[in-house]
A and B are shown apart, each in its own frame.
Chain A
Amino acid sequence: MPGLIEALNSAKLALSTQQIGIQVTGHNIANVNTDGYSRQESEMKTTRPYSAEPGQIGTGVTVSQISRQFDRFLQKQITDVTSNFSELDARNQALKQVESTFNESSGNGINNILSEFWNSWQDVANNPQGASERVALRAKAQDLVDTFNRLSSDLTQQRTNADRNVVGAVGEINLLTSQIAELNSKIAQVEVGDQNANDYRDQRERLIQDLSKKIDINYFEGDNHMVAIFAGQGKSLVEGTLNFNLSGDMNTLGYHDVMWENTAGTKADVGTEIQSGSLKGFLDARDTLIPKYLNDLNELAASIVIEVNRQHEAGYGLDGTTGNTFFAPLTSISTTTANTTGLTTFTEVDSGNTGGATINTGTVADRTLVNGDDYEIRFKSFLVDAGNNTLNVTTTNGTASVTLTASAGQTGASLAADLQTQLNASGVLTGAGADTMTVSYIPATDTFSISINNGKTVTINTAASTANTLLGFTADPAAAASITSDSASGNRLYDIVNTTTGTTLSSNASYTSGSTITFDGVSVIISDGSSAPENGDIFGIKFTRQAAENMSLSSDVQGSVNKIAAAQTSAGVPGDNTNALSIAALQNSLTMEGNQATFDTYYNTVVGSVGVDAQGAQRNTDLQQLLVNQLQGRRDSVSGVSLDEELTNLIKFQHAFQAAAKVVTVIDELLDTVSKLTG
């Protein structure tokens, strides 16, 4: 029914609608500086009209929804570039620290101290009899040692800091994911009706962006208005109202592995799955960047110690003694004979080894051959000798003879699988009763066993076989002749690689458990432990490990400067400076990188590479920052609040409100008139 009351009603709606508009505008103005806030808009629509004569008549206005101005694709892009930026930034910060450690511009770095050290040797050569020259040399050597110690401890400290950052980031990630899960629940509750949880959504976007700073994520919103978030390669971080915690578990090196825990409480190491974000940057700094420079430093320290000591031990002190070391020998554990003075090596079993073999502590068999490089003994495939590769077996079904071939990189399990295929392909065995033979590899005893199903027996015909003794086959236990000899461990191949120079010293050597392996003056013994070494297993021999950290002067030289060996011949020749000259000449000897570089050029190259890395990291960070700024600018342009715009809207709503009020006044007057009419 058209009428004044209807008109009054529509004016009332107008008043309240414009008020909501003003309220939303006020909210926008209030949040002009709120990070991550998205501008809100009250969307108005006409209320339902009613039909009358002469046609449909409108009934006023209402707010259909309060929407937020937001571009979800842009937000996704921002999340991605933020992850990349944070990773680069974390790397950049780490490299800046490394760079300041290697900063030589002030002239008190290794470069300078090394020069002074060699010069001091020449001073001793100029006056080998002089006590003051010897004392000065010892002081300079102590400076050199201190500088190496300091650089090493600085870098180690930086590694520890990076590890702390890893743990910190893990904690922050857990906090963020739990907050996001909580917001998921709030948003779902609000939006279960037809409401928009605008402010909660803003908060959630903000937290997701914060999360992307720490770790690379993928996320999508489900039908229930909750977001699901996955880290890196698909490990779930947030699912509905649940969040999955990461944890930092201490590993054997004393650093923390990033672990992800599933609902069953099983943990998995996800360190390698993380592709970007500051967590990735911290992990890289800790596990790759800093160790690289630390290794370089250790290599230099180890070479200096070994080369100087070698020459020093050949000379004679002022007191006529010989065989004294100048620097404390690397990792001095044993001092058995003159030829192996205090030289032992660090050996380690690679953490990725699948076999159970062990390695003993290496000893130095011939010190004159030791150059301070690092080595790896790398196991390769099984060896199957070309002349001894026949396996002849008899089963109840017949006899089969197969020739074994092992391809490069073959493991016990894969060799067993190959054999099984070959045996079953020989029709004799399978033709009669479709029997199948099973060949399996038993790592614990390092033997192969063959069995056949259907209660039949299998026998290895020792006379016709050659491979059985070679690889230690045992036949089915029921068989009459089972071969139990185990010489299989002798049929593994390994290479010895000098990892410092990248050269292979020995290729395809044959392994025997417990026998001594000697190369470059070093002897080690690898033995079968819980099982034999497997293809791909690596055993490291490290001269350089902690060399810079442990570097110190020998007790001989610390005790008396007269033990400094300047002379080449025995006592009574205080003027003999030959050995001092020889040691000073090491400065220009090609002692590093497989006789390619001097100590100086090696170190300078390290500083150069720190510079290149730091320069590159800074550049990449700057570029990525530009990208972040650009996208952030676009986001601001879509979602940000413009005060000018809001003020304009404010006036718009004000006028509409005033007009609606006027309508009320007019209707009031009209109603008055009408009432007077009847009165």
Chain B
Amino acid sequence: MRVTDLGRFSTIANNLSQVTEKMLESQDNISSGKQVNKPSDNPVGMTQVLSYRSDLASLSQYVRNLDQGKAFLSVTESALNDMENMLVNAKGIAISQASGTATPSSRQTAAAQVENLYDQAVATANRKLGDRYIFAGFKTATAPFSSTGAYNGDSNSIDIQIDETSRLAINLAGDAVFKGSNDLFTALDGLRQSLATNDSAGIQNAMDTIQAAHDQVLANHTDIGARMNRIQLAQDNFSKTEVDIKSLVSNIEDLDMTKAITELTSRQTAYQASLMASSKIMQMSLVNFLS
């Protein structure tokens, strides 16, 4: 085959540009740390990475939802705690004032104490997280309980999304917890009235109704505890899942550095070798030997 100068030089140019391109590709990958830089690098991998990224974004949102839920539930829990303590107090007062040693005047004082407790109970039932009343159902902008213990909220449950398919209610509707069959406000008011009117039988009776109201709050408290547990479990699960997904993404996307650097080195060597060979070939000409 005839070897011509134009052919020789364009072959050299083609070879050098091929080797350079490969070397630059290696360099690109190493500097970005990724082996999938654009969809065509690995179309299937890219599709998977995108769907994993959506999963990760959703996961972090679920975690955020759970945090919100947790905040709501813990405010609820502490309100219930306070409420239980008040009811225990009220029951203590009833027990002490039910005994024979109680006098009408001590009962009057106790009545004032109970009235105080009543006001505290209304305030507790109207507790807020931020600007939201937590026991009002959906009517979070209005105080759910009036000073007479009437309920102005509704019985709706506020749900949060805790994973792709399930939701969790984070609130307790005030009428179910504090009113319903064992109305806490009626019980307290009953005790106050019995104390004020020195009605021993009424005080005895109030002990039972307060106990019943207390039990009702406690039952709801237990329910809140169970929900908190569920949130905790879900959060633990999510952090595990997150690690798993991240490693899946990394497997597809990230570069094996050792391999990449070895490859770069070998490509550099190839480039240098091409340069050397080319410079030798390019110098060769009959011109050099003619005088």
Contact = CB atoms under 8 A, between A and B. Distances in A.
Interface in B253-291: 285-287, 290
A389 interface: no
A577 B286 contact: no
Nearest to B53: A111
Given A575-B137, A629-B14, A587 B290 contact: no
B42 A611 contact: yes
Given A104-B46, A112-B57, A129-B141, A584 B4 contact: no
Interface string B131-143: 1100011111110
B5 A573 contact: no
A583 to B, nearest CB: 11
Interface in A611-665: 611-615, 618, 629, 632-633, 636-638, 640-645, 647-648, 651
Contacts of A99: 38-40
Interface string B54-88: 10011011001100110000000000000000000
Contacts of B160: 122, 125-126
Contact of B141 (A32, A574, A578, A614): A574
Interface stretch (A113-121, A213-221, A483-491): A113-121
A126 B71 CA distance: 11
A575 B285 contact: no
Interface stretch (B151-159, B191-199, B202-210, B232-240): B151-159
B161 A611 contact: no
A105 interface: yes
B154 A573 contact: yes
B43 A608 contact: yes
A609 interface: yes
B7 A111 contact: no
Given A569-B138, A572-B139, A605 B47 contact: yes
B6 interface: yes
Contacts of A100: 38
B89 interface: no
A336 interface: no
B136 A119 contact: no
A567 interface: yes
A611 B171 CA distance: 47
A607 B43 CA distance: 8
B53 A637 contact: no
Nearest to A632: B10
A567 B154 CA distance: 14
Interface in B109-151: 130-132, 136-142
A500 interface: no
A576 B138 contact: yes
Interface residues of B, number: 58
Contact of B4 (A574, A609, A614, A640): A640
B50 interface: yes
A481 B245 CA distance: 82
Contacts of A476: none
Contacts of A105: 34, 36-38, 46
A596 interface: no
Interface of A is mostly: helix
B35 to A, nearest CB: 11
B5 A32 contact: yes
B201 interface: no
Contacts of A629: 10, 14
Interface string B1-14: 11111110011001
Nearest to B158: A575
A123 interface: yes
B125 to A, nearest CB: 16
Interface string A571-592: 0111111100100110110000
B6 A33 contact: yes
Contact of A575 (B138, B167, B287): B138
Nearest to B67: A126
Contacts of A123: 61, 64
Given A609-B43, A643-B286, A116 B138 contact: no
Contacts of B60: 119
A592 B218 CA distance: 48
Interface in A475-509: none
A119 B38 CA distance: 26
B58 A119 contact: yes
Contact of B161 (A33, A584, A604, A645): A584
A114 B54 contact: yes
A629 B140 CA distance: 75
B57 A588 contact: no
A313 interface: no
Interface string A124-155: 01110110000000000000000000000000
Which residue of A99, A569, A575 has the most chain B CB atoms within 10 A of its CB atom? A575
A608 B34 CA distance: 17
A600 interface: yes
A588 B164 CA distance: 7
A39 B38 CA distance: 46
A573 B156 contact: yes
A651 B1 CA distance: 22
B140 A115 contact: no
B286 A576 contact: no
Contacts of A609: 43
Given A115-B57, A607-B46, A575 B139 contact: yes
B7 A637 contact: yes
8 contacts: A32-B6, A129-B140, A588-B165, A603-B50, A608-B43, A610-B43, A636-B6, A643-B287
Interface of B: 1-7, 10-11, 14, 34, 36-44, 46-47, 50-51, 53-54, 57-58, 60-61, 64-65, 68-69, 130-132, 136-142, 154, 156, 158-161, 164-165, 167, 171, 285-287, 290
Ranked 5 nearest A-B pairs via Cβ: A611-B39, A640-B4, A611-B43, A636-B7, A575-B140
Given A578-B159, A607-B39, A633-B10, 20 more contacts: A103-B39, A104-B39, A105-B34, A115-B53, A115-B54, A115-B57, A125-B159, A129-B131, A574-B139, A575-B156, A576-B138, A577-B158, A581-B159, A608-B46, A611-B38, A615-B43, A632-B10, A636-B4, A642-B2, A647-B290
